A = this chain, B = another copy of it.
Amino acid sequence: MKKYQLMAPGPTPVPSEVLLAMAQPMIHHRTPEYEALFTEVRAGLKTLFQTEQEVLPLACSGTGAMEAAVVNTLSTGDRVAVVRAGKFGERWIEICKAYGLDILELGAPFGETVPAARVADALRREPRLRAVLAQHSESSTGVLHDVRGYAAATRGTDAILIVDAVSSLGIADLPMDAWGVDVVVAGSQKGLMLPPGVGFCALGEKAWAQTKTSTLPKYYLNLTEEKRCVAKNEAHFTPAVSIIVGLRQVLRMLAREGVPNVFRRHDRLARATRAGVEALGLALFAKATPSPALTAVVAPAGVDSERIVAVYSEAHNITIAGGQGEMKGKIFRLGHMGYAAEFDVIVALAALEQVLADLGQPVDFGAGVRAAQKVFADRA
């Protein structure tokens, strides 16, 4: 018996109690039962997004919600700055290109970050910028970008800050209203530990104002219409009912743990993972603040990281992820987000020790686990 373990940076495991909630008989979305459920979900989402604004769930993946953020707030030819330091930064660029926006690339080598000062400088030099687009956690590199700094830089300018928090919502602290983030985008399959299929957009006042002049075409992803319906406790189009049912369960679990504790848990898991990886002599890929959602690790010299992913799967029945795009073959990524706890990290590191040995690498067995244990033992 090799128990299956999903340790990729999303989709993440779904707790059994959530799976079973979603396995209840289908209900219709225009019934008092669904309305009661949606009322609870809306309140829970506001708490989680740390906003007074309505959070809009959409039946789409995170990328659909990213597109919704763009097409609802911007107009053809608008000048926008994109923080590009990974595959998901590139996705912002692809979306903006598809809609004819005029892009200022604020690039950094993958694994690094773009300092807030560079964003502030760009906004000073180009006052006609209408938006800054960035990731919070860049899942392809394992870096956490300085969203708080970006928000401070955009405040008082004509630009809104649009943040892809797909792999940070419910993982890393992102107080939307307090920091002044104008748009937060998220997805169901990371910190929310649900199946993929629901994306979220939350817009602040400045972003809602910008929707009024936005000329980009939209219908399915029209957030103004969605907001109008959500205010009536409905969805504009048929919602992904089963995932919303699961979401209620997840929001209850997160409320029980307490959102600040959820952030602390992820921070501990990430620190323990990094300590374990480094104790095994491997290098972290992140050259900037590492993300608490996942750890990207450089494969040992002469080892194709795809082999590491394959041995994790074939020998140990554990799914992790390799590198994407230009990082393929060079890095592997361990997820520790959502339904993830201390002993999952222990398993991931114990497996890593085995995998390295299987691949003929020198391994000090137990060293990775020991380093993680020390992090967990420190209850401060």
Contact = CB atoms under 8 A, between A and B. Distances in A.
A8 B22 CA distance: 19
Given A98-B217, A219-B95, A63 B26 contact: no
A13 B26 contact: yes
Interface string A14-37: 100001101111111111000000
A59 B100 contact: no
Interface stretch (A38-46, A107-115, A129-137, A236-244): A236-244
A196 B98 contact: no
A241 B196 contact: yes
Contacts of A313: 31
A267 interface: no
Contacts of A94: 219
Interface in A61-100: 61-64, 66-67, 94-95, 98-100
A242 B319 contact: no
A276 interface: no
Contact of A61 (B30, B62, B222, B237): B237
Interface residues of A, number: 56
Given A67-B219, A196-B239, A197-B242, A29 B4 contact: no
A180 interface: no
Contact of A60 (B6, B217, B220, B243): B220
Contacts of A237: 61-64
Interface string A309-342: 0000100000101000000000000000000000
A313 B27 CA distance: 12
Nearest to A100: B217
A25 B4 CA distance: 9
A14 B25 contact: yes
A195 interface: yes
A12 interface: yes
A273 interface: no
Nearest to A12: B26
Contacts of A31: 313, 319
A189 interface: yes
A340 to B, nearest CB: 13
Contacts of A99: 217, 219
A191 interface: no
A212 interface: no
Contacts of A189: 238, 241
B11 A238 contact: yes
Interface in A187-246: 187, 189, 195-198, 216-222, 237-243
Given A196-B239, A217-B217, 11 more contacts: A4-B27, A8-B28, A11-B29, A19-B22, A19-B23, A23-B23, A59-B196, A60-B64, A64-B237, A94-B219, A196-B241
